[in-house]
């Protein structure tokens, strides 16, 4: 997800997020740290194939190899590190290590498939480790699935902005302030976020752009011994992949960009279209309740169902609900409602949580909100995804609306999403506390000269509307559009055999689908 709601720092993951949601509802703690320190091993892997570096100053980094070792937490997977410069303008200056995780091919190996789940801020190591749920058997058989924590994320020189208690308070805050007191608290939270990120993170906080992460991917390609990069990116991972294609078009191998982001849109347009996407998904959820139950607990029509949800959120804003030893605030409730909209298979969790909240109990919605932010039951956070999401988005595009001008956006945003519009409108002020600037010049992304890039979109995707896939496939010189008619975020491995076969035949055999294919 882009920074349409950067104020509340929403994290858009692929399937791994939904696995975490299910675990959290049941009170379990998801294991999100598979890329622990590798255990020593006497085995020395062969050196990687050395490919030509973009400059002589980068030659040593491009010639490095990955010392894969069994992961400490799971010896079925391999862990390693990749060294990259903090600043590519000073390639022989300070460096950082990126955390890597590899799931070795289970059958006849085709090569390495680098994967990214989006966010920004989501851990690629966790995504790869969950490969058995994310990818189907053909890809697991043919590829080493390689995930990396992008710079500033997870175990890769992570940005650090808030203590756990401060992050709790931030996420619980009212995302739609409508009193002077609420606005003062909102303003303070926004302005302190960027300040605390700079204070807690060091120089890397100014070098966590998508462009720099894409440059890291080319160093990774070389270290893997691949002449061309094969890549699967979901959600924001599509923007990362498209950026790579612009920077290194001759190194693009087989690319799948699933749940595409329209990289040409300005911040306001992104926010408006994403707000509309979540409204569409919520309406689909309510319609499903009406279609699949004799007496939907939300009401007798879609409009009644939406009104029930809106009234519930309004009541929680006035009076938070008990949630164990905590209180479910309107900020938490917002996360709890949008989380299961990412995947139709988890709509039942939303129904359970809403029914419970209507009965005055907030624990189920709180569990969904906690899973969304990677909060563990003990109050710690499994990763820094919220902080990384904010830092990367606001460095990529620091566009921000002054607090006093946000109310003027309400009519437009409420037309796009009567339920969530004001949250997205206030999110337009989310980067006002950022004092660092990117050292990278913005790109116009075309990817001219790249091999065919398959771009996937889903008709009722809440986070990345289908129109974004249309736009990105047209912007990319070699873009090939494939559509899935369905619900939920991203298209692959979502129960559509047509989509799954197209993706697997393309990645494994190079069979390029016809542009505009619909499944």
389-403 burial: b if 16+ Cβ within 10 Å, else e:
bbbbbbbbbbebbeb
Residues 6+ apart with CB under 8 A from 341: 278, 281, 282, 285, 347, 350, 462, 488
Q: Which residues are catalytic?
A: 235, 461, 489
Q: Which of 129, 211, 95, 154 is CA-nearest to residue 387?
A: 154
Residue entry with tokens 């989501």: 122
SS3 99: strand
The three-point CA angle 305-309-313 to 5° equals 165
Q: Kindly give, in sequence order, each residue whose CB lies less than 8 Å from that of residue 250, ignoring residues fewer than 6 positions away.
A: 449, 450
Contact status, residue 119 vs residue 152, Cβ threshold 8 Å: no
Closest CA to 383 of 5, 13, 1, 6: 13
Q: Report how far residue 319's alpha carbon sits from residue 325's, in angstroms, rounded to the nearest whole number.
A: 16
Q: Are 120 and 236 in contact (CB under 8 A)?
A: yes
The closest of 494, 469, 472, 233 to 342, measured between CA atoms, is 494
Which DSSP state fits 339?
Answer: G
Angle at which helices 164-172 and 385-396 cross, to 10°: 70
Q: What is the dihedral of CA 421, 424, 426, 428, to 10 degrees?
A: -140
């Amino acid at each position: 997800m882009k920074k349409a709601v950067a104020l509340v720092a929403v994290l858009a993951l692929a399937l791994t997020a939904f696995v975490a949601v299910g675990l959290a509802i049941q009170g379990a703690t998801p294991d999100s740290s598979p890329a622990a320190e590798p255990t020593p091993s006497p085995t020395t892997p062969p050196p990687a194939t050395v490919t030509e570096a973009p400059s002589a100053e980068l030659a040593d980094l491009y010639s490095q190899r990955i010392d894969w070792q069994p992961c400490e937490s799971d010896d079925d997977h391999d862990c390693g590190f990749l060294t990259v410069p903090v600043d590519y303008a000073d390639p022989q200056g300070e460096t950082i290590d990126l955390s890597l995780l590899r799931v070795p091919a289970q059958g006849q190996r085709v090569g390495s498939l680098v994967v990214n789940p989006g966010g920004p801020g989501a851990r690629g190591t966790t995504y790869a480790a969950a490969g058995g749920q994310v990818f189907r058997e053909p890809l697991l058989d043919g590829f080493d699935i390689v995930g990396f924590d992008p710079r500033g994320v997870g175990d890769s020189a992570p940005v650090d902005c808030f203590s756990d208690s401060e992050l709790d308070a931030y996420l619980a805050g009212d995302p739609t302030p409508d009193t002077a007191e609420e606005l003062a608290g909102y303003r303070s939270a926004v302005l302190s976020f960027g300040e605390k990120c700079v204070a807690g993170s060091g120089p890397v906080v100014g070098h966590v752009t998508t462009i720099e992460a894409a440059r890291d991917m080319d160093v990774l390609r070389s270290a893997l011994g691949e002449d061309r990069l094969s890549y699967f990116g979901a959600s924001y991972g599509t923007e990362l992949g498209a950026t790579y294609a612009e920077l290194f078009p001759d190194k693009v191998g087989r690319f799948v960009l699933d749940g595409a982001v329209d990289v040409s849109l300005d911040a306001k347009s992104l926010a408006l279209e994403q707000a509309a996407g979540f409204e569409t998904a919520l309406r689909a959820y309510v319609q499903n309740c009406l279609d699949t139950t004799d007496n939907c607990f939300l009401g007798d029509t879609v409009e009644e169902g939406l009104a029930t949800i809106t009234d519930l959120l309004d009541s929680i804003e006035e009076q938070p609900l008990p949630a164990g030893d905590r209180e479910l605030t309107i900020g938490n409730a917002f996360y709890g409602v949008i989380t299961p909209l990412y995947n139709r298979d988890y709509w039942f969790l939303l129904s359970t949580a809403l029914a419970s909240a209507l009965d005055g109990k907030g624990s189920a919605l709180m569990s969904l909100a906690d899973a969304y932010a990677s909060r563990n039951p003990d109050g710690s956070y499994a990763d820094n995804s919220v902080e990384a999401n904010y830092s990367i988005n606001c460095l990529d595009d620091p566009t921000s609306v002054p607090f006093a001008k946000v109310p003027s956006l309400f009519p437009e945003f409420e037309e796009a999403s009567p339920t969530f519009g004001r949250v997205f409108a206030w999110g337009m002020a989310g980067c006002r506390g950022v004092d660092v600037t990117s050292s990278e010049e913005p790109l116009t992304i075309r990817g001219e000269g790249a091999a065919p890039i398959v771009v996937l979109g889903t008709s009722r995707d809440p986070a990345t509307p289908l129109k974004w896939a249309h736009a990105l496939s047209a912007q990319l010189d070699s873009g090939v559009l494939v559509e899935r008619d369905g619900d939920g975020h991203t298209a692959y491995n979502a129960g559509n055999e047509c989509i799954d076969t197209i993706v697997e035949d393309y990645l494994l055999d190079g069979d390029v689908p016809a542009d505009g294919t619909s499944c």
